[in-house]
Structure 1
Amino acid sequence: MRKPIAALVLAAGLGVASLTGCTSNASTEPTETAQSTADACQIASEYVQEFQDDMSTTMSEAAAGDFSKIVEVMNSLKTRLGEAADEVSNTEVKDALNEFGDSMDKFAKVFEGVANGDLTVMTAKSAEIQEATEAMQTAGQKLSDTCTL
């Protein structure tokens, strides 16, 4: 039973890790008052890069059954993505950041209250984990697509 849970947790981690490519390569000509996509993506990229190492460590711990770390890190990531969204005025990037933050929250909620190492509960929640993982990967891909050519 551990392998399916570990695979889903790892997939979620890879979804976040894929955002390393979220750079400011996007090229949108700004108006005098609008923030360019490139500038907004640069801000998003800085926030995403800050939590890459934490995410890798957390996914390893989660695969070993330390589910409390998932909730802690996902909540932290949602907060950081919200901070990034607050700094961004570009609507497209802001929406992508908010959607990604919401998907982090959804993923964290699956693990709230689950005792560390309780694979029985996690097995019962495998459909929820899969759904939350897919939402996170979709939102992460939207952010990545928005911020890269």
Structure 2
Amino acid sequence: HLQYETYILEEVLPRLPGPPVAAGASFGALHAVLLALRHPTRMGGFVAMSGAFDTARWLDGYHDDSTYFTNPIAFLPGLNDEAYLGPLRSMPAKVVATGEGDPNVADSIKLGGLMRDKGLDVRLDIWPGWAHDWPYWKDMLRTYLSPTKSEPAA
């Protein structure tokens, strides 16, 4: 994540007219959330779909500062700095969404709860019957990025 983050911060964001809403599905959802949590003054929010947010499961016990600060399930409970929390609370777009049939549904529920514990008004949607696949994410994006911001399909 750190090399990707550096690229976004140094090459992409300076070319944009304002703070973007980061959106991503699956591993991209993790990137979107991390960009917002780690750089809240530079982002306009996030739409995270079907993300795997607890990265410790892939590290075979390895742990250092870089793995800690790229695992939102690990570092969010200890985040108490208002320099981060204030801008995060004021972000207009904060969405964590997944399908009830997605293998990462527990991560989405956990992340949404941790965010709410920090006073973040995050929209946590569990879409009934949906799984981890592109057609679902396309429909989710239509919902979350449309001007009307409708509710998830039943």
- Report the TM-score range of the alignment, normalised by the length of the smaller protein: 0.3 to 0.5
Rg larger in 1 or in 2?
1
Give the TM-score taking structure 2 as reference length.
0.34
- Larger RCO, structures 1/2 (Cα 8 Å, 6+ apart): 1
Higher share of residues assigned helix: 1
Higher share of residues assigned strand: 2
Give the TM-score taking structure 1 as reference length.
0.34
